[in-house]
Chain A
């Protein structure tokens, strides 16, 4: 069955960077885009950007350009998102999700906490 398994929670300091992962299984990894989505507590979902695992091509929400960098490792069917220059406003749960038309499979989410 299709699964997206994300890495564990992160506690980081302001100004630092963090890289979280999303390992796909149960389907052909290179066939579908992977998107990353941010959810702050009690707030709406924000689409950060997407990557085509086959080509490595990316597209970003302007709001997250310079903040998020999306990459993949095809050999391990894993997508990565690096967040840089972290501030308390980056504290959130970050999801990866496979997209066909809708986001049909989601990872369990990674809680990133930015605190001094």
Chain B
């Protein structure tokens, strides 16, 4: 199985900050990488698919990049409503696997 490692596990930042979350795959996943946001008590929400494509309805402050084994999710200007846990997920091969998440807090 492909292992997905996210860092940091906890991130505290101020409103308006540019925030970068990292996700590393145990092997090349050829950009087959999605990002999800999960708020407390809710189901995850798809933010970014295929590394850098913004899902419909998601604010443009969210963006994704990467290739090979290394991927990032960037929030250009952190908003209070962005407090959540963020997961990456690879779909290069079965079984689909998720990272353990980055919990994002407001400082």
Contact = CB atoms under 8 A, between A and B. Distances in A.
Partners in one complex: yes
Interface residues of B, number: 22
Given A44-B100, A45-B87, A102-B55, A107 B43 contact: yes
B43 A44 contact: no
Contacts of B87: 44-45
Contacts of A107: 43
Interface in A86-102: 95, 97, 101-102
Interface stretch (B15-23, B44-52, B65-73, B76-84): B44-52
A94 to B, nearest CB: 11
Contacts, number: 51
Contacts of A54: none
A44 B5 CA distance: 11
Interface stretch (A9-17, A24-32, A57-65, A74-82): A57-65
B32 to A, nearest CB: 9
Interface in B60-107: 87, 89, 91, 94-101
B95 A45 contact: no
B94 A45 contact: no
Contact of A108 (B43, B46, B50, B99): B43
A109 interface: yes
Interface in A35-73: 35, 43-47, 59, 61-63
Contacts of A106: 43-45
Contacts of A102: 34, 36, 46, 48-49, 55, 89, 91
Most buried by B among A45, A46, A97: A45
Give me the 4 closest cross-chain CB pairs, A-B, nearest first: A106-B43, A61-B95, A102-B34, A102-B49
Interface of A: 35, 43-47, 59, 61-63, 95, 97, 101-104, 106-109
16 contacts: A45-B89, A46-B98, A47-B97, A59-B94, A61-B95, A63-B95, A95-B44, A97-B43, A101-B50, A101-B91, A102-B49, A102-B55, A102-B89, A102-B91, A103-B44, A103-B89
